[in-house]
Amino acid sequence: MKIVQLANFYTPVSGGLRTCVEQTGRGYIAAGHERVTLVPGTEDRDITFPDGRHLTVRSPLLPGSGGYRVLTARARVCALLDKVEPDVLEANDKLSIAWLSPWARRRGVPLVLVSHERINAILRTRVPRWFPLDSAATAANRRLHRLVDHIVLASAFSAAEFEVFGREKTHRVPLGVDLDTFRPAPATAQHPERDDVRLVTVTRLSTEKHPELSIAALRELRRRGVPASLDVIGTGPLQRRLAKVADDLPVRFLGHVAERNRLAELVAAADVSLSPSPAETFGLATLESLACGVPVVVPSEGAARELIMKPESGRVTDGTPQGLADGVESLLAAPAERRRADARAVAEQFPWSATVNGLLDVYATATNRERVPQRERQ
C-alpha cells in the first residue's frame, strides 16, 4: 500500500504527534509499504529519505501557537495528493478533514482519522465558562464521524467522543514506545544512597498541558520537607511565565531535547515523573517514563491514568498540586526496585510494532486487502 500521512502542528519540537507519525511511518516501510508524509513548513519541499518521501507545503504560522504551522493551501495539497495517488490517506489532525473528505470521496481513497486530541479537553482552558463546549464538541465530532471512513483512537478516553455515534468506524489502537531507547538506567548509574528526590516532567509548555501544576506540586513537596527538585523538558509559549513562577525553586528548564537517547537518559535519572495534563488522549511521555522504569503521577481526568496498570507503576490523583504531591510521597514509600519493575512491565506491553500492526489492519480493512501481520518486536 501507499500510505500518505498528513499532519498539521508538525515541527521539530512537536512532541507526541511527530513521534507517532515517525515511528508508525518507519513501521509501514519495514512492513513493505510505501510511506509519504505531507506537512506544513516554511517552504515547498519534496525530498526522499530512507524512511520515505517527505512533502512540505509552505504554510502560515498559527498565531499564539508557539511556532506551529497549518496547511491552508488546499488546492496545492490536493494537487500533490493527485500526483502521489495514495491507497490510504491518514489524517493526523481534525482541522483538515472538512476539505480532505471531498477529495478522498472523489478519488475513492479511504480517509482515516488518527485522533490525537479530544476537542472538549483541549479547548476547555481556551473558551469562556459560559460557552457550551461539550455540545459544540459533540456537533463537531458528529460531523467528523460522518466525513471520514475510519477513526483510530488510542485510549478509552479518546474513544469516548466518537463511539457515542456508533462503533462501525472506530478502532482502538494504543500507541507505543521505543523500548530499546527508553529503558531503565543501568545499575551503575543508580544512586540508592541519595537523599534528594528527582522529579521530571516532559511536556509542551502550553495552557492545555497545565505544566504549572508540576511546579506547584514541587512547591508543596518542599513545604512538606521533601528535598525534591524538578527537571522540565519541553518548550512552549508559557516558558517565560513558568520560569518566573519557579524562580525560588530548584527547577531546571531544559528546553526541547531532540536527541532521543539523551531524553531517555534524563528521564531515567528521575525518581518520579509528573504528567499533570487532564487532556491527554494517550500519554506518550507517560509511557516513555514508564519504559525508563520511572513511575508516573497522573490526574484522574484524561487517558494517562489508563497506563497506570500495575500497583507501583504510578498514582492516579485528583490532579491538584496537593494531590500530585500526595502521589509522589506515596510512590516514594514503595521500594525503588519495585517501582522500576512495575513501570517497565507496563511499558513492555506497548511496542511500536503492535501499533503499526493495528494501523495496518485498519488500512487492510479500508482497502479490502488481506494482510499478513508482522511479528511484534520488542
pLDDT digits (tens, 9 = 90+) for 351-374: 999 999 999 999 999 999 765 555
User: Is 27 within the bounds of a domain?
Assistant: yes
User: pLDDT grade, residue 378 (50/70/90)?
Assistant: very low
User: Is 372 within the bounds of a domain?
Assistant: no
Predicted local confidence at residue 127, as pLDDT: 85
Q: Domain check: are 195 and 151 in the same one?
A: no
Domain count, the chain: 2
DSSP string, 51-111: TEEEEEEE--B-TTSSS-B----HHHHHHHHHHH--SEEEE--STTHHHHHHHHHHHT--E
| Helix (H), strand (E), coil (C) string for 182-236 | CCCCCHHHCCCCCCCEEEEEECCCCHHHCCHHHHHHHHHHHHCCCCEEEEEECCC
Q: Domain check: are 358 and 317 in the same one?
A: no
Q: Cα 127 to the chain's mean position, in Å?
A: 23
User: Is 122 within the bounds of a domain?
Assistant: yes
Identify the CATH number of the domain in which residue 234 sits.
3.40.50.2000
Q: Domain check: are 40 and 172 in the same one?
A: yes
Q: Domain check: are 28 and 142 in the same one?
A: yes
User: pLDDT grade, residue 13 (50/70/90)?
Assistant: confident
Predicted local confidence at residue 192, as pLDDT: 58
Residues of the chain with pLDDT > 90, as a percent, come to 85
User: pLDDT grade, residue 61 (50/70/90)?
Assistant: confident
Q: Domain check: are 9 and 96 in the same one?
A: yes
Mean pLDDT, residues 113-131: 89
Q: Domain check: are 211 and 326 in the same one?
A: yes
Mean pLDDT, residues 18-38: 97
Q: Per-residue pLDDT for 202 more than 50?
A: yes
Q: Using an 8 Å Cβ cutoff, are 8 and 74 in contact?
A: no
Mean pLDDT, residues 214-239: 98
Predicted local confidence at residue 44, as pLDDT: 96
Q: Domain check: are 165 and 35 in the same one?
A: yes
Q: Domain check: are 194 and 140 in the same one?
A: no
Q: Report the mean per-residue pLDDT for the chain.
A: 94
Main-chain phi, psi angles of 243, to 5 degrees? -60, -40
Domain of 8, in residue numbers: 2-176+351-366
Q: Using an 8 Å Cβ cutoff, are 169 and 148 in contact?
A: yes
- Is 128 or 238 the better-scoring residue by pLDDT? 238
When mean pLDDT is compared across 82-96, 187-201, 268-282, 321-335, the lowest value belongs to 187-201
User: Is 23 within the bounds of a domain?
Assistant: yes
Q: Domain check: are 162 and 266 in the same one?
A: no
Residues of the chain with pLDDT > 70, as a percent, come to 95
User: Is 130 within the bounds of a domain?
Assistant: yes
Mean pLDDT, residues 101-117: 97
User: Is 210 within the bounds of a domain?
Assistant: yes
Predicted local confidence at residue 188, as pLDDT: 47
Q: Domain check: are 223 and 156 in the same one?
A: no
Mean pLDDT, residues 109-131: 90
Q: Domain check: are 209 and 269 in the same one?
A: yes
| Helix (H), strand (E), coil (C) string for 26-43 | HHHHHCCCEEEEEEEECC
Q: Per-residue pLDDT for 375 more than 90?
A: no
Q: Per-residue pLDDT for 64 more than 80?
A: no
User: Is 134 within the bounds of a domain?
Assistant: yes
Q: Per-residue pLDDT for 283 more than 70?
A: yes
Q: Domain check: are 336 and 200 in the same one?
A: yes
